[in-house]
Amino acid sequence: MSDVILRLALPSPLRRLFDYRATAAMARQPLTPGMRIRVPFGRREMIGILVEVCATSEVPADKLKPAIALLDPTSPLPPALFKLCLWTAQYYQHSLGDTLSWALPVLLRQGEAAEIRQERFWQVTADARLDDPRIARAPRQREALQTLSQHPHGVAHSLLSKLGLNKDSLDLLLAKQLVQLEVRRQRPATRHEHWLAQPELPLNDEQRAAFEAVRSGFGSFHAFLLAGVTGSGKTEVYLQLIRETLEAGKQALVLIPEINLGPQTLARFEQRFNARIALLHSAVNDRERLDAWLAARDGEADIIIGTRSALFTPMKNPGLIIIDEEHDGSYKQQEGLRYHARDLALVRAHQENVPILLGSATPSLESLHNAHTGRYGLLRMNHRAGGAKQPRFLRLDVRSRPLDSGISGPLQQAIGKTLEAGQQVLVFLNRRGFAPTLLCHDCGWMSGCPRCDARMTVHQRSGVLRCHHCGYDERLPLRCPKCAHVDLRPVGAGTERAEERLKVLFPDFPVLRVDRDSTSRKDAMHNLFTTIQRGQPSILVGTQMLAKGHHFPRVTLVAILDADGGLFSGDFRASERMAQLIVQVAGRAGRAEEPGKVIVQTHLAEHPLLVQLTEEGYFAFAEQALSERRSAGLPPFAHLALLRAEAHKPGQAEGFLDEACSAAERLLAEQGGQGIELLGPVPAPMERRAGRFRAQLLLQASARAPLHRLISAWLLELEQMPSGRQVRWSLDVDPVDLY
Ligand code: ADP
Ligand code: ZN
Ligand code: ZN
């Protein structure tokens, strides 16, 4: 045994590192941070990541356990990525081991070799001939030989069926030594001389200005916010900047929101370039993810496209980072390591000294603020690229008007007129299901979830009541569970009800619903969109799945059934999200020759934020909302951290948070932390969820440094608190949802 101490990050929530003794054999190897090492942990084994090598440990020598095995000859993580993970763990006050677990591909965490997989390749032998007499009467073997001979580098075993190659024929050919089988690494696709597979569009003046600004920032860290209205041609700007990046011999990383993963977005990148594209998103399997990660790391992928976690993909030659739809909520991870991929992308761009471009038609208030203060260069594109006009907005005051499944009389007329004119209508309602509640007209019973402080949604078609917060469901009752009467009425409207009603109102036109329930089948979404693209008059009803990235040229009327939810919510970000959704949905309309119209149904037609949004547009709204945030001392003018706790028994979570609050007050007194307020503990807005009682404590600070100083000392105390063992708790730095 050696005296070399290995200090490891282990996949544990504890915010500390763990020491092990290196075996004599390990100690003779060059040991560098990032290497994976298998160690004993309790009665199990774990894979840890080497953080540093030391000569001494605070652990008594007889307690120090030897490591079991070194898994890597060199570190699989490049230093830049390791540094990013260190920064992330520090900033989000998360255990480094767990941070690395979130950041690395699953197979690497499980100990898989950090090398691109070896594969079997079928190849024609040098002296094989198609007119070989041994296959003269074997047409299938001849066909297989012919197909294979068109692939001089061989065909990977996994691709045989794709090329219509039959394994039995190949086995027969193998026996005749007309083909051979070779095990080797997937040959990296060759780099191309000509990057463009498709001509570029000539940029218009606004696009050119944005393009030139970012290009002049190539080669070092610069941050830009591309605020371009929907349809202004942001994607074309991204594509041309990526081409510049490739020509400079560098790689581009593109993050897209989860909801944009449709084939439409990816196809635009794939069609434009002769490039090796690595895809990293939820639909790729673990092996594909690891291969894409390795290809990016080794410079064998030119463009890396993925959702949130793709931010942690290493790059050999990073040249540009693009965050599409930077305002999108899916960039924030809401469990475990609660990071924000957009914010971390900025850190990464800075660390790797490359430019970063954030794009959106509806930038987050945080990013707009950063543009105002000069941290980001602001690039505006105010016109639609194809020449289409911006849609017009109308607020439709529905106070005291009867709503028929959520649809007012004037809106029905507008829909009818649009269909008669041969155009399409998009009806937006951000609520799935038939109705948000079931009510007994006799006794007032309502369909509460037994596990949450929430109502269960009526799903008529599948015949269930379902809770959208915990997933609990039960059969739709025929009689009231309380008084046994049969007068049960669905209250309010979701997409399913709107769809049903629209079908009755407009029986001559197809009504298509797009939400998570209707599109859960794999091709459902694709089929829907093909139908819509065909262009005959029809109605599309859907949730926010409709809001992103799609292009519906024949939609000329967009109806927002209910804009009010965002205007009186307890969450200070609700109005921002509502405005973004309305503008994004509206942006689907009239993208071709006909101008679009957007009708917003509301009970708050005079609400200043709604007036501003519909009359002067998103940027005027955003200025107003920013000035409200400033006077209320809310982000981006303040910094937040939220300590959440939940427990099975009522009062337990608050008990822990009370203690946590006292500890924070004491630390604040010791540290002289100025400008930090502790708000709470209070029960969460929805106190009971999935059978647990939840509470929270909000920390609000005028400056970031004292807040971070406080929480790093605080968390170490929280980890030791006995009351913390009975609850599940977590800290969210820069929380996005305050629930
Ligand atoms: P955004 O990403 O800003 O929503 P897109 O890049 O999707 O906008 O562009 C909207 C439409 O305008 C697309 O159909 C695109 O092909 C077209 N377009 C973009 N740039 C140009 C251009 N310079 N000239 C003509 N059409 C363009
Ligand atoms: Zn009843
Ligand atoms: Zn529930």
**CB-based contacts of 371: which residues, under 8 Å, 6+ apart?**
225, 227, 363, 377, 378
Residue 527, SS3 per DSSP: helix
Nearest Cα to Cα of residue 461 among 515, 509, 535: 515
- Is 228 a pocket residue for ligand 1 (Cβ < 6 Å)? yes
SS3 of 85-148: the string is HHHHHHHCCCCHHHHHHHHCCHHHHCCCCCCCCEEEEEEECCCCCCCCHHHCCCHHHHHHHHHH
Residue 385, SS3 per DSSP: coil
Q: Tell me how far apart the alpha carbons of residues 493 and 429 are, in angstroms, rounded to a whole number.
A: 9
Q: What's the gap in Å between 616 CA and the centre of ligand 1?
A: 23
Nearest Cα to Cα of residue 54 among 24, 31, 72, 81: 31
Q: What's the gap in Å between 382 CA and the centre of ligand 1?
A: 13
Beta-strand pair 5-9/424-428: unpaired
- The atom of ligand 1 lying closest to the CA of 232 is 3
- Is 234 a pocket residue for ligand 1 (Cβ < 6 Å)? yes
Is 186 in contact with 116 (CB distance < 8 Å)? yes
Q: What's the gap in Å between 678 CA and the centre of ligand 3?
A: 30
* Ligand 1 atom 23, closest CA: 203
* Ligand 1 atom 26, closest CA: 386
Q: What's the gap in Å between 438 CA and the centre of ligand 2?
A: 11
Q: What's the gap in Å between 239 CA and the centre of ligand 1?
A: 11
Is 339 in contact with 304 (CB distance < 8 Å)? no
Q: What's the gap in Å between 442 CA and the centre of ligand 2?
A: 5
- Is 660 a pocket residue for ligand 1 (Cβ < 6 Å)? no
Is 708 in contact with 688 (CB distance < 8 Å)? no
* Ligand 1 atom 11, closest CA: 231
**Which ligand is in closest contact with the Cα of 362?**
1
Q: Tell me how far apart the alpha carbons of residues 45 and 195 are, in angstroms, rounded to a whole number.
A: 47
Residues counted in the chain: 739
- The atom of ligand 1 lying closest to the CA of 228 is 3
pLDDT at 230: 87
pLDDT at 151: 81
- Is 207 a pocket residue for ligand 1 (Cβ < 6 Å)? yes
Describe the strand order of the beta sheet including 223-228 as a list of residue ranges.
277-280, 303-306, 251-255, 318-323, 356-360, 223-228, 377-381
* Distance between start and end Cα atoms, the chain: 51
Q: What is the pTM of this model?
A: 0.88
- Is 230 a pocket residue for ligand 1 (Cβ < 6 Å)? yes
- The atom of ligand 1 lying closest to the CA of 237 is 6
CA angle, residues 422, 427, 432, in degrees to nearest 5: 145
Residue 318 Ramachandran class (φ > 0 left, ψ -120 to 50 alpha, else beta): beta
* Ligand 1 atom 9, closest CA: 233
pLDDT at 563: 85
Is 653 in contact with 436 (CB distance < 8 Å)? no
Spell out, as residue ranges, where the chain has pLDDT lower than 50. none
Q: What's the gap in Å between 479 CA and the centre of ligand 2?
A: 8
Residue identified by tokens 């490891």 is: 8
Identity of the residue numbered 148: L
Domain ranges of the chain: 5-109, 118-185, 205-386, 388-435+492-629, 639-733
Please, where are the H alpha helices in 181-285? Answer: 205-215, 234-247, 263-272
Nearest Cα to Cα of residue 69 among 101, 100, 36: 36
**CB-based contacts of 468: which residues, under 8 Å, 6+ apart?**
432, 433, 454, 457
- Is 268 a pocket residue for ligand 1 (Cβ < 6 Å)? no
**CB-based contacts of 694: which residues, under 8 Å, 6+ apart?**
644, 645, 646, 653, 683, 684, 686, 687, 688
**Which ligand is in closest contact with the Cα of 451?**
3
Question: Same topology for domains 5-109 and 639-733, yes or no?
Answer: no
* Ligand 1 atom 6, closest CA: 233
- Is 240 a pocket residue for ligand 1 (Cβ < 6 Å)? no
Please, where are the H alpha helices in 535-651? Answer: 574-586, 608-616, 618-632
Beta-strand pair 473-475/155-156: unpaired
Nearest Cα to Cα of residue 245 among 303, 202, 205: 303
Residue 503, SS3 per DSSP: helix
Q: What's the gap in Å between 462 CA and the centre of ligand 2?
A: 23
**Which ligand is in closest contact with the Cα of 482?**
2
Q: Tell me how far apart the alpha carbons of residues 46 and 568 are, in angstroms, rounded to a whole number.
A: 49
Q: Tell me how far apart the alpha carbons of residues 478 and 732 are, in angstroms, rounded to a whole number.
A: 43
Using a CB cutoff of 5 Å, list residues around ligand 2, an ion.
Answer: 440, 442-443, 445, 480, 482-483
Q: Tell me how far apart the alpha carbons of residues 475 and 478 are, in angstroms, rounded to a whole number.
A: 9
- Is 380 a pocket residue for ligand 1 (Cβ < 6 Å)? no
Q: What's the gap in Å between 153 CA and the centre of ligand 2?
A: 73
**Which ligand is in closest contact with the Cα of 686?**
3
* Ligand 1 atom 21, closest CA: 385
* Ligand 1 atom 15, closest CA: 233
- Is 723 a pocket residue for ligand 1 (Cβ < 6 Å)? no
Q: Which CATH architecture has domain 205-386?
A: 3-Layer(aba) Sandwich (3.40)
Is 96 in contact with 18 (CB distance < 8 Å)? no
- The atom of ligand 1 lying closest to the CA of 236 is 6
CATH number of the 388-435+492-629 domain: 3.40.50.300
Q: Which two tokens stand for residue 204?
A: 């218009």
**Which ligand is in closest contact with the Cα of 231?**
1
pLDDT at 149: 86
Q: What's the gap in Å between 269 CA and the centre of ligand 1?
A: 13
Q: What's the gap in Å between 474 CA and the centre of ligand 2?
A: 17
Q: Which CATH architecture has domain 5-109?
A: 3-Layer(aba) Sandwich (3.40)
Q: What's the gap in Å between 453 CA and the centre of ligand 3?
A: 7
Which burial class, exposed, middle or buried, applies to 360 when counting CB atoms under 10 A from its CB (0-12, 13-18, 19+)?
Answer: buried
pLDDT at 520: 66
* Ligand 1 atom 14, closest CA: 386
Residue 176, SS3 per DSSP: coil
**CB-based contacts of 733: which residues, under 8 Å, 6+ apart?**
91, 92, 93, 338, 641, 711
Write out pLDDT tens, residues 568-595: 777 889 999 999 999 998 888 766 667 7
* Domain 639-733 = CATH 3.30.70.360: yes
Is 532 in contact with 552 (CB distance < 8 Å)? yes
Q: Which two tokens stand for residue 213?
A: 């600004």
- The atom of ligand 1 lying closest to the CA of 549 is 4
* Ligand 1 atom 10, closest CA: 231
Please, where are the H alpha helices in 304-356? Answer: 341-352
- The atom of ligand 1 lying closest to the CA of 230 is 4
Residue 512 Ramachandran class (φ > 0 left, ψ -120 to 50 alpha, else beta): beta
Give the residue, out of 235, 236, 380, with the most ligand 1 atoms within 8 A of its beta carbon, to mutate for a pocket test: 236
